[in-house]
Amino acid sequence: MIDITRIRVKAGNGGPGGISFRREKFVPRGGPDGGDGGRGGDVYIKATEGVHLLRQYRYKRIFNAQNGNGGKGRLKTGGSGKSIKLEVPLGTLIWKVDKDGGRSLLADLSNQAQEVMVARGGESGKGNARYVNSTNQEPLIAENGEQGEEISLELEMKLIADIGIVGTPSVGKSSLLRACSEAKPDVAEYPFTTLEPVLGYVDGKKEGFVAVEVPGLIEGAHKGVGLGHTFLRHVERTRGLIHLLDGTTSDCLSEYNQVREEMRLFNYVLVEKPHLIVVNKVDLVEVSERKEEIEKSFTEVGLNVMFISAKTGLGVDNALEKVQALLSSVDIDTNEQKKAEAQITGKPETENPRVIQEGDVFVVEATKAERIVSRVDLSDRRVQIQLWSELDRLGVVRALEKAGAGTGSKVRFGETELDWE
């Protein structure tokens, strides 16, 4: 079962703006008509009911949205790049993975058709028609498109169920799920028959609910011993738990406490969930004869237990009624269901240019100016001349003069450094 995987996504780059001049018969000075480029495609992740595993991301791990097309003459705008949607199971957490391996939660997709944008496509570059003004009738400036966002993600699937069935190996968790639902987990007389969580729908008398069986927990599970620790995350979302115990165990209370401790060490939230203590295999003589003894050991510490036989069905209906009563008394945890939205925001627009001196370099903070400088072709001398004219129009030159910059000063816009001429 693939319930954690890492992928890398890249949104499309914005298309470059066009450099074009209208040239028609009888229109000798038609002026610039380069259109804007198209916007890059976005990357979305969507929760889909029909998808149950992350297995499709096991072999293909890199996903790219389409780039925008370049602008053309006659003010034709380039086509936008096609966005992509990646489908994941309900209950998938989306984590952003930093270069140092750290994680931050982007989104928790718990509802059908819920989707989130995880990488925003680059904005389109402006064509030279955008830069015509009274002092520059033949602009050679056109912007390249903005780079689309690229991000590493970790997808973590957590099954969504109402009740979780936990316990040590071979206590009868699979048998109980078989007895009360249509699920058909493997049942055998050896430990760790269940190697991955199993969901089953229980059609109760009042209202149905979904139960999940978690592979058996043994001492040290929170550290990675055994199999159950890998899947404990799947009961973090449940509204309640069934602690299933093997009645043939010499000390049921100690077994119960052991499982509780492993859950506490894994995530203390698990032991705060309402739960029922159920002793299985009461159909066996050795268990039925010890029933009073087992019950007394729990009542002495303020706990109630019930007895069932998952094999014969004895007491199962009564236990399910108790589960329904438990679920009806538990409000859905709004904090658990609170959705983390992906915070993908652009850099705020800076209207008035601000200049900071760092050593012998004057750093300009002005969003529009930074965007233009980063996107034009600085290898063309004519473009450089027109660029400084455009920066003057935006108020950058005046801000530089106020900061003490002059001819020959080094000026930095974002990651681009220029010599002021």
pTM: 0.66
CATH 1.10.10.10 matches 354-419: no
Among positive and negative, which fits the CA dihedral 343, 9, 154, 209?
positive
pLDDT of 196: 64
Instruction: DSSP for 237-300, please give it.
Output: T-SEEEEEEETTSS-HHHHHHHHHHHHHHH-GGGGGS-EEEEEE-TTSHHHHHTHHHHHHHHHT
381-393 and 367-375 helices, crossing angle to 10°: 170
Running along the chain, 421 residues long, what does each successive block of 10 average in pLDDT? 82 96 77 95 92 83 96 95 94 90 89 93 95 89 94 87 88 88 55 59 77 73 50 81 94 93 87 95 94 95 95 93 89 43 42 87 91 88 88 90 90 90 72
pLDDT of 399: 92
pLDDT of 331: 61
| The CATH number of the domain covering residues in 163-332 | 3.40.50.300
180 three-state secondary structure: helix
pLDDT of 26: 73
372 contact partners, CB below 8 Å, separation of at least 6? 141, 143, 387, 390, 391
302 three-state secondary structure: coil
Q: Where are the domains of the chain?
A: 1-157, 163-332, 354-419
**How far is 23 from 53, CA to CA, in rounded Å?**
58
pLDDT of 298: 96
pLDDT of 25: 76
pLDDT of 146: 94
HEC sequence for 20-68: CECCECCECCCCECCCCCCCCCCEEEEECCCCCCCHHHCCCCEEECCCC
Name the DSSP class of 100.
T
Q: Give, in words, the CATH class of 1-157.
A: mainly beta
**How far is 379 from 398, CA to CA, in rounded Å?**
25
